[in-house]
Amino acid sequence: MSIARLTRTAPRSGPAPLRLLGRFDLARARAHEFCGSARRRLALWVARETTGPILWVRPAWHPDRLHMGGVQPVIDPGRLIFVEVTRPEDLLWTLEEALRPGAVPLVIGELPEPPGLTPVRRLHLAAETGAEARAAPLCLLLTPGTGGAAGVETRWQLLPDHEASRSRWTLHRLRARQAPPKSWTLTDTDIAQATGTAPPRDLHPA
């Protein structure tokens, strides 16, 4: 892989973005970072907007597991293909290899820490190659805390902020190439409205 390809900026045009919750656009053929304690839930909300199989790559040594009881109300669990790797260096390599053919529309990687700039650029390039070969895949990097992966297209943080009578979430857009940082408060009603299962209503800023 040439230095020129690794150091170039994002393409100026590409496939139509994925629309999350009726208003947030995620560029396809790019890598995005989701962080915070509810990052898996945010990834499932993205998965709901896609069709076909979902490749979920995770470290075999990590004790956390995706709870199928929480998955089923959002997507069909049968769409999930889990890949567990036993060596840290295989996590990003597996993501890159999964993106390159363009056979899977959504590739999700659970990472123990944010990756550096060069690995993220390689993921962008692999996703672009997938878009040229077949379909434009979307890559989600799930990282703990406030994240910090270098070179990602966007970085989002989802945190629970529940009340006694209802579930509530705070969504932070921490980084985006085309938009400033911003926060929103979401309830289950907001999410149902945004996904078309209830009458539409604007999501409200936090």
Partners of 108 in beta bridges? 56, 140
135 Cβ partners below 8 Å, 6+ apart?
102, 103, 105
Nearest to 32 by CA among 173, 141, 190: 141
pLDDT 10s digits, 105-160:
999 999 999 999 999 999 999 999 999 998 899 999 999 999 999 999 999 999 99
Least confident of 1-10, 40-49, 108-117, 146-155: 1-10
Quick one: how far is CA 113 from the chain centroid?
A: 15
Domain boundaries, the chain: 23-156
Percent of the chain having pLDDT more than 70?
88
Buried b (16+ CB within 10 A) or exposed e, 87-101: eeebbbebbbebbbe
| pLDDT at 11 > cutoff 70 | no
| pLDDT at 22 > cutoff 60 | yes
| pLDDT at 1 > cutoff 60 | no
Nearest to 148 by CA among 120, 185, 129, 107: 120
| pLDDT at 14 > cutoff 80 | no
| pLDDT at 5 > cutoff 70 | no
Percent of the chain having pLDDT more than 90?
72
| pLDDT at 2 > cutoff 60 | no
Please give the pLDDT value at position 205. Answer: 60
pTM for the full predicted model = 0.88
Q: Is residue 127 within a helix (H) or strand (E), and if so which, with residue range?
A: helix 117-133
| pLDDT at 4 > cutoff 70 | no
Please give the pLDDT value at position 202. Answer: 52
> What angle do helix axes 89-99 and 117-133 make, rounded to 10 degrees?
20
Neighbours of 126 (CB within 10 A): 25
Across all residues in the chain, what is the average pLDDT? 90
Domain 23-156 in CATH 3.10.20.30? The answer is: no
First-residue to last-residue Cα distance in the chain: 43
